[in-house]
Every structure is written in C-alpha cells, then in structure tokens.
Structure 1
C-alpha cells in the first residue's frame, strides 16, 4: 500500500468513504511535508465523532461500538503485560486494585450490539462465531497443550524467545479476531443509542484513567522500566481519547 493510501486509511471509516480519494490525492501531491498535518487531522476526527458524515444509517454508532471493544482488548493486553502487579490487577480476589474494571465492564455492557433473538439470526451468529474464532481457538489450544505437556520444561534461550513470541502473537491475533467478530455482528445487530454510547465512552475512559493512575503509582513505588512506562502512557492516552470522544458525542446529543 502506498503512503498516501495508508494515510487516508487512518481516518474514521465514514470520512474515508466520502473523502478518502481526495485525502490520498492531496497527500500524494504535497508529499512527506503533509504527513504530520494529515496524521493530526486523522487523530482529531477520531476524537470528534460528531464531525463524521454518515454514509449509512447508524454508521457512527457502529464504528464507536467496535472502537470501544478494540480499546478494551488493547487494555486487556496491556494489563496482562504488567503482570504480576500488586497495584494494577484484574482479579475478583483483589477488589481494590481491580476497581478500575468496574466502569469498563459497565461501559462494555452499554455499548455491546445486541443481535436479534430470532432462530435464523442466532444460527447465522453461531456460524459467524465459528468461522471467525476457530483459528484463534486452535492457536490458544495449542499453546495450552504445549504448556501442560511438560515437553519444554527447560527450553533453550532461542526456544524460550520463540515461545514468548508465540504467546503474545496468539493473544494479539485472538484480540484482532474478536474485534473482527464484533464488527461483523454490528452490521446486522441492534446498536446502542447515542446516549448509551456516550455513557459507555465516559465510563470506559474513567476506568482507563483509573488504571493509568494505578499503573503510575506502581512506577513510583518500584524502579520503573521502559515497558511499564509505555503501558502507563498508553493507558493514559487511551483514557484521554475515550473521554474526549465521549464529551464530543454528549455535546452533539445535547444540541
């Protein structure tokens, strides 16, 4: 993919569909000098869903619902990367340090697309789940069986690195396929209202902000390293972006 097309692909879907060709053409004409402004404008539009055109009814709500699920999966991977941690956890046995999960789970509940309960729709949903998640399920099963088999109790340095790479690749691939599933389900499911999506954005943003604060506290109490700093910054950026989009959507709703 050429750089201008890649730049245009960073914009929200509705913007790409309506003006993607023009954006790509302008970037191609202006060259590398236009890249910073193009990236900045793409980021600004993601934070202002009220500025998105709607080429299809309910498109903005569908994109936001999928985006929220994607943010949640990224958060899950980030928290997994911080383990073990005594300050930022996701465990019912540690309710205080897992409190950040409460608003996020509530936000997910508010933003989840709801498929019809008709038998034909449920059959299509089951088929869609099988087609989308079979490969990642097999990858997770292979990882589990390898870990439980005892065949690699003392791996070499190279084998250990390969196992770690496979572990994170499997988690990342599974997260990607889950997002794909939500995007496919959202095409025909009943989407949450704008009011519910606004509340979901603010709740998930609040949970992310709390997680970022707990992660920052862990940095203060222990010797920080590049990985933990990156996780904290990413959580903070996701929190700020989600809350900003929620405020923008709320302002649009109140007009």
Structure 2
C-alpha cells in the first residue's frame, strides 16, 4: 500500500480503524491510487456520522453525537460572528439584529440541550478543569493579548498597517482555536467525568441547532446574493451546510435507543 493511501486510512476515526482498518488497508492496497477518492469520501462520511462508529455502549454513541452538536454550534457561532463583523453581508437595521439575536439564542439553547452533564463529584470537576486549562490556555492567552493591545490607548488609525493586520488576525485565530478546542475537551474526558444527554434531549438539541443554522444561513445567503457580497454568500452557504450535518445526525439518532 502506498504512503498516500496509508496516510488517508489514518485519517479515519480511531474507533473505525480499530474495527475495520486492516480491511480498508487491504482494499486500498489492491486498488492503488484509484482507491484515494473513495477513501477521502469515506473519511468525510465517517466524521460526519459519529453515531454509527463502533462503540462499547449506547452512552458512548450519545457522547459522540453530543460532541458533534457542540462542534456544529461553535462553527455556526464563529460564522455568525464573522458575518456580524461585515455589516454589508447582513440585512440592515432591526431585521438584521432580530435575526442574529434569534439565531444566537437558538444556538445557546441547542448547546444547553446537547452538552454532556458534569458528574457532581470533585474528581469530575478537577478532570474537566484540567482538560479546559490544557485545551484553552493558548487561545485564551492570545485573545487576552489582543484585548490588552486594543485597550492600551494606541490609536488604531495611527498604527502601522502590518500591526493592525496582525492584531486582527490574532483575534480571529484565537476565536477559531477556542471553537476547535472546546469540543476536544468533551472527547478527552471520560464517562467518569461527564454524563451524555439522553436520546430525546439530543434530538431536541440537534433540531434547535439545525433551526439556528438554517435561519441564519438562509437570511445571510439571500441578502448576500441580492447585493453580491462574496464573503456573506460563503458564510450563508457554510451555515446551510451545517444544517445538512444536523439533518444527517438526526437520521442517525433514529437508530439509537430512547434513553432519557
């Protein structure tokens, strides 16, 4: 098997590779480079459907779906925040504010529904705190530096363009890193620290996240296409893609047992 095919197989989730990795490697080795498109499609499909990964228990599947929901919510929040920074990519006036506030509220409700519940023990609290410090230290430090620079009294208009660009880039990098690292906290902690939500609560949460993404995406995309704002159109399309991810997760949840 080629180095490329072996590297692609390693991109599958660990649970998938432990169960079927050797079989996929054998098939890829026999097909050669012709297997690469199928491997890439399989990787994307697996990561978009964590509920179907091999699991030791239904609770483990629910925890994976909860992590997926948090990831979708943070991605939608990041895109919405990016759109809010570009007023020309959103509807004007009260319509814009009402739509974005409504979507933000739905995202918060969705996160509250899908988020695993910490166990009420000192050990669980220390475990969560340790993972949060390890994962969020870098984005928190970077964001803090940016805030200090912005509020240090330096005239932004008088600052060198390179410095302004660097500060702005650092701020967005900090936000992106935070959105990436938060879901990794829940993938790292074990069942001794958090309790996954029940199937019913997961369904309600994913439906809520789908509503938020669909509403925000359709609004931003419609207005952006009307005024031909490329960034806004990309943000709107991204939010609609997240809606599709939620729809696929809801289909997967139908096969999970209804645990409250």
Instruction: Answer whether TM exceeds 0.5 for this pair.
Output: yes
Deviates more, 1:116-125 or 1:2-11: 2-11
Which runs of structure 2 are paired with 1:85-96 in the superposition (5 Å)? Answer: 85=87, 87=90, 94-96=97-99
Cα deviations across residues 12-60 of structure 1 (Å, max 9, x unaligned)?
A: 4432331234324433443332222223333444555554321456222
Q: Secondary structure at the match of 1:26?
A: helix
SS in structure 2 opposite 1:149? coil
What are structure 1's unaligned runs of at least 5 residues? none
The 1-side partners of 2:110 and 2:257 are apart by 18
- Residue equivalent to 1:76: 77
Q: Tell me if the contact between 2:51 and 2:62 (Cα under 8 Å) persists in the aligned partners.
A: no
> 2:174 matched to 1:170?
yes
Task: Answer yes or no: is 1:195 the counterpart of 2:200.
Answer: yes
Say whether residues 1:243 and 2:247 are aligned partners. Answer: yes
Evaluate the alpha carbon distance shift between residue 37 and residue 192 of structure 1 in structure 2; reply closer, same or farther with a 3 A threshold.
same
Quickly say closer, same or farther: Cα 1:38–1:200, change in 2 above 3 A.
same
Q: Specify the SS of the correspondent of 2:102.
A: coil
Is the alpha carbon distance of 1:97 and 1:144 closer, same or farther for their aligned partners in structure 2, counting shifts above 3 Å?
closer
> What whole-Å deviation, never above 9, does each CA across 1:125-178 have from its counterpart, x for those lacking one?
333333332332211111110111134622333333322322222211222222
Aligned equivalents of 2:45, 2:123: Cα separation in 1? 41
Matches within 5 A, 1:145-156: 145-151=148-154, 153=156, 154-156=158-160
- After superposition, where does 1:107-126 map in structure 2 within 5 Å? 107-126=110-129
8 Å contact from structure 2 (residues 12, 47) kept in 1 = yes
Q: Would you say the 8 A contact 2:199–2:256 is kept in 1?
A: no
The match for 1:211 is 216
Q: Is the 8 A contact 2:128 2:185 kept in 1?
A: no
Partner of 1:100: 103
- In structure 2, relative to structure 1, the CA distance for the partners of 1:8 and 1:195 (3 Å cut) is farther
Change (3 A) 1:32 1:163: farther
- How many pairs are equivalent? 250
User: Conserved in 2, the CA contact under 8 Å of 1:208 and 1:235?
Assistant: yes
User: Could you tell me how far 1:112 is from its partner in structure 2?
Assistant: 0.8
In the aligned structure 2, how far is the partner of 1:47 from the partner of 1:127?
A: 28
* Alpha-carbon distance change, 82 to 50 in structure 1, aligned in 2, over 3 angstroms: closer
The residue matched to 2:221 in structure 1 has which SS? helix
In the TM superposition, what whole-angstrom CA distance separates every residue of 1:197-251 from its partner, at most 9, and x where no partner exists? 22222221121111111112321442322x2222111111110121122123125
Measured at CA, do residues 166 and 15 of structure 1 come closer, stay the same or move farther in structure 2, by a change above 3 Å?
A: same
User: CA separation in 1, counterparts of 2:249 and 2:228?
Assistant: 34
Unaligned stretches of 5+ residues in structure 2 = none
Normalised by the length of structure 2, the TM-score is 0.82
